[in-house]
Amino acid sequence: MLFADIDILDEQMNYVPHCWVGVRDGRIDYIGDTAPADASAYGESYDGSGRLLMSGFFNAHAHAPMTLLRGWGEALPLDRWLNERIFPFEAQLTADDIYWGTLLACAEMLRYGTVSFSDMYYSADARFRACKDAGIKINLGETLVAPDEKPYSEYPLCALNQRLLKEYHGSCDGRLLLDFNIHAEYTTNPTTVQGIAQAAADEGVRMQVHVSETKAEVEQCRERHQGMSPVVYLNSLGVFDVPTTAAHCVWVDQDDIAILRDKKVFVAHNPVSNMKLGSGFAPVKDMIDQGICVSLGTDGTASNNNLDMMQDMYVMALLHKGTSLDPTVLTPQQILTIATRNGALSQGRDDTGVLKVGAKADLCVLDTTGASWTPMTNPVANVVYAGHGDDVCLTMVDGIVRYRDGSWPSIDIDQAKAHVVAAAQRIIATL
């Protein structure tokens, strides 16, 4: 495809009008202020009038099948939300339910310009199949919940992860990746956590884990583990010796931040979910100032309740200005980088998340003709403060269009919605 006479956000997230961007063999291979000499060789010419081309979004923390639980656990703090609403519902889910819930999540993310996401959940085969069918990228973790203190090798997850590595890791030209995943300190034990951390190091895979999401989680961890915070505890067991994305990190102190920095941990910030569950606000500006790579996640739709990364960018931008009493905190360029390039880096995808020649063509196009975009006195600010997920009119993954003007070439959206509704109704009737 050749994007013709289209405005772009370049590698530094600066606005550049009237560009031509050529995509060939899944990568960006031309950016210029005039059409390339071999323009016809790109195939379709996409009219860029009134459009803005930028990197697609990288959702750094999600639970895709939780589309099935959208709206199910409202107005509860995290511990009650999990134990009274989420866990009983999830106990009734089948692999088929999880396939359709994941496929619907993929459709929603593609609709809103997301090209890749990091996911924690169960039924990995079903989730991998849904992402393969949708054409989206995923870093998938099969969640470790380990109440009994025994070696990781004695948990069924150990054998499952070995099979998943062989069958899926790096498949679909690298779109599908397996990360190892620990649910959290409070749902596991030291022996098993240390074992899975060593296994991740041995296999050379990344790690995902929930960390310090609530104040109570941190206090109870200190009581259980000789005063150690979740960050100190997980670090003592070798979790951060492999590239790790730590979701939330709301209740972290300066010692925690120093560990996260020194261990080069990627922090997935989830501002909407954290506020909705009353968990608090992560000290993102402090983390960034100390050199931590912060990315952005939606969390699941049971605690957000949607997968619109543009909404989360908006909330993130305002949240940290309001809590710091400083309107200069986090520029639009920083927010956009956090939602794109930083998310890609947190997934180990070094060749994407940026609009430059040679990068993977993981892109989205925004319609900038709407009332909320007018006038375009500051287009970069408009993306963060005036834009909406509904402004996305095209999403491309590895150079293939996966969403365009209300249609998904590889997803039957009505079928996915019908299956999710039926599954949710079936389960709710039993609870």
pLDDT tens track for 372-422: 999 999 999 999 999 999 999 999 999 999 999 999 999 999 999 999 999
First CA to last CA across the chain, in angstroms?
A: 50
Predicted confidence (pLDDT) per residue in 158-196, tens digit: 999 999 999 999 999 999 999 999 999 999 999 999 999
> How many angstroms separate the CA atoms of 257 and 239, rounded?
15
Whether 300 shows a pLDDT value over 90: the answer reads yes
Share of the chain above pLDDT 90, in %: 98
Please, what sign has the CA dihedral across residues 19, 24, 30, 35?
Answer: negative
What band does 246 get if pLDDT is binned at 50, 70 and 90? very high
| Token pair belonging to 304 | 């957000």
> How many angstroms separate the CA atoms of 110 and 205, rounded?
26
Predicted confidence (pLDDT) per residue in 90-114, tens digit: 999 999 999 999 999 999 999 999 9
| Token pair belonging to 198 | 């060593």
Between CA 333 and CA 342, with CA 337 as vertex, the angle to 5 degrees is 160
Average pLDDT in the chain = 97
In the chain, where the domains are located: 2-55+355-404, 57-346
**In the block, residue with structure tokens 């511990």:** 79
232 and 263 Cβ atoms separated by less than 8 Å: no
What band does 203 get if pLDDT is binned at 50, 70 and 90? very high
Whether 42 shows a pLDDT value over 90: the answer reads yes
114-121/207-211 β-pairing: unpaired
- Residue 290 CB coordination number (10 Å): 14
57-346, CATH topology level: TIM Barrel (3.20.20)
pLDDT of residue 78: 86
Check: CATH 2.30.40.10 for 2-55+355-404? yes
Average pLDDT over residues 67-77: 93
> How many angstroms separate the CA atoms of 311 and 200, rounded?
33
For 276, phi then psi, to 5°, come to -65, -35
Strands (E), 250-390: 266-269, 294-296, 363-367
Whole-prediction pTM: 0.97
Topology agreement, domain 2-55+355-404 and domain 57-346: no
* Residues paired with 16 in a beta bridge: 8
Whether 351 shows a pLDDT value over 90: the answer reads yes
Largest CA distance in the chain: 67
Q: With 0-12 CB in 10 A as exposed, 13-18 as middle and 19+ as buried, what is 24?
A: middle
For residue 54, the 8-state DSSP code is E
Whether 65 shows a pLDDT value over 90: the answer reads yes
Return the H-helix or E-strand segment holding 394.
strand 392-397
Return the H-helix or E-strand segment holding 57.
strand 57-62
Query: Which residues 6+ apart lie within 8 Å of 19 measured at CB?
Result: 3, 5, 6, 7, 8, 31, 32, 33, 48, 53
